[in-house]
Chains A and B, each alone.
Chain A
Amino acid sequence: MIDKRLARKVFGIVVFLSAWLVPALAFAEEAAAAGDASWQVAVGKAVAAGLAMGLSALAAGYAQAKIGSAGAGALAERPELPIWIIVLQALPEIIVLLGFVSAIMING
């Protein structure tokens, strides 16, 4: 069950980032289009890439913590399951990979 307080915090962070980062990126893009490639564009891109990588890593960490805890529980009673637990444990890495790709695309 998702903790309501945690859900509220995550929602708040997402709203905050959307409100500040999306316009910043839009302005940066506009400035770049106008040929006015100033240092703000570079900083904006760096921040966005960092957030894409950092947030996806945090999300993957959270998912892996949950899967790891449940996996430890399952292994305690069913020691024949380690391969499945390792596969499930590795799945959230895809989130980090997607964040990494997004970061490269932002900087590209």
Chain B
Amino acid sequence: MSPVIAQKEKLPIVGPRDYGYPNARLRGMRSRLLKAEAFEHLIATGGMHQLIQELMRTEYASDLEEVLIHGRGAAEVSDALQRHLIRIHEKVFGFLNQEAKDICATMLGRWDVFNIKTILRGKLYGLGSAEISGNLMPVGALGSVDLAGLLAQSDVSGVIDTASTWELPQAPALRDGYEKYQATGNFVDVELALDRYYAGWAGSRLARRNSNYAMIRKLLCAQIDILNTVTAFRASRDRLSLEAAKEYFLSGGDGISVSLFGQLVAASDAGGLLEALRSTPFSAALEGVASQYAEDPSIVVFERALEDYFTRKMVALSSTDSLGVGIPLAYLWGKQNEVTNIRIITKAKEVGIPLERTRRELILV
């Protein structure tokens, strides 16, 4: 296994809790993140060729140069974006102090869960490896080689068997979830087993008495609340009984209690759900997309709003203690968001989505 996170362990260029050097460097790197005008230029480009030309004027140039010998299509751009993301994460982990490395690795662990889920869903619906690979974020402990190994499997059980053979930490959760899935036929069982694993794993790694850990614990709680809210939305849509839905409740959050979760599951429509969520911090984010939900009554609208809310929270960490772990996390999330946006623009250019719709799809610009 060659995890991004573990690669640079042997370069202790700063003290275990020295944030002066890494945070100053990250602030410098942050100034090179693409601004709204740069995205506007990318959206306004006439096609893939112009998009690549525009990207060659940015930090992505060196990664694009490496892949452009294979072609000038969306697949090559996607490959370059992934290379860039891995390179930047390796670079950041190369100069972070030990505490920041631990905390960032814990928060990036969610991408391992995301990647495994994406591969499993892809295999479940019979998607091709190239299509699945384009949506992966290889920035957690599972590197691109590990993900390629999982992707090479032919079906869901093959992926789970490979994870077990490699003794991945997520393997026991995957096996439990898969057993349940075989009994119920509901794939959510596998996904929730992974979420439960992540909540427990991250919670135990962040259980230290220190202001940096305390700040990130709150974010983990927010993440668990978001997962519970999405589960409640799905349970309400599928008219699940309260007893059945409570099986899916994840403990560890601080905004969604079991009783509130019950209220959400029992809500009969979107209005009831939003009313029940009024006391939560992400209520405004959900109400902001209520009109969009009225036009397109899909839970994905709310899921996307909650994901944006969480990204916003992570990026806002840049205005916390300038000698704390918020700066590295804000930068890493800002970079991931930037790559996601460029991926959206690339897809839009590939399939010819109108400019206005592409603009709407972008996150946090």
Contacts and interface: CB of A to CB of B under 8 A. Distances in A.
A76 B25 contact: yes
Given A1-B212, A1-B324, A77-B29, A71 B24 contact: yes
Contacts of A77: 25, 27-29, 31-32
A73 B21 contact: yes
A72 interface: yes
Contact of A3 (B17, B22, B24): B17
B20 A1 contact: no
Interface string B191-220: 000000000000000000001100000000
A70 B17 contact: no
Nearest to A72: B21
B20 A66 contact: yes
Nearest to B324: A1
B28 A70 contact: no
A74 interface: yes
B323 A1 contact: yes
Contacts of A8: none
A107 interface: no
B-side interface size class: 20 to 34
A73 B24 contact: yes
A5 B310 CA distance: 34
A-side interface size class: 10 to 19
Interface in B11-67: 14, 17-29, 31-32
Contact of B19 (A1, A71, A74, A78): A1
B356 interface: no
B321 interface: yes
Contacts, number: 44
A1 B28 contact: no
Given A66-B20, A70-B20, A78-B31, A1 B211 contact: yes
A69 interface: yes
A74 B95 CA distance: 13
Given A1-B17, A66-B20, A73 B212 contact: no
Contacts of A71: 24
A90 B118 CA distance: 53
B21 A70 contact: yes
Residues of A contacting B: mostly = helix
Contacts of A76: 25, 28
A77 B213 CA distance: 27
A69 B20 contact: yes
Contacts of B324: 1
A76 B212 CA distance: 25
Contacts of B26: 73
Contacts of A70: 20-21, 23-24
Contact of B22 (A1, A66, A73, A78): A73
Nearest to A78: B28
Interface in A42-100: 66, 69-74, 76-78
A69 B23 CA distance: 10
Contacts of A73: 20-26, 28, 95
Contacts of A3: 17
A77 B24 CA distance: 9
A72 B324 CA distance: 18
B13 to A, nearest CB: 10
Contact of A74 (B17, B25, B32, B323): B25
Nearest to B19: A1
7 contacts: A1-B19, A1-B321, A70-B23, A73-B22, A76-B28, A77-B31, A78-B31
Interface of B: 14, 17-29, 31-32, 95, 211-212, 321, 323-324
- Give 10 nearest A-B pairs by CB, closest first: A77-B28, A73-B24, A73-B25, A70-B24, A73-B21, A70-B20, A74-B24, A69-B20, A78-B28, A69-B21
Interface of A: 1, 3, 66, 69-74, 76-78
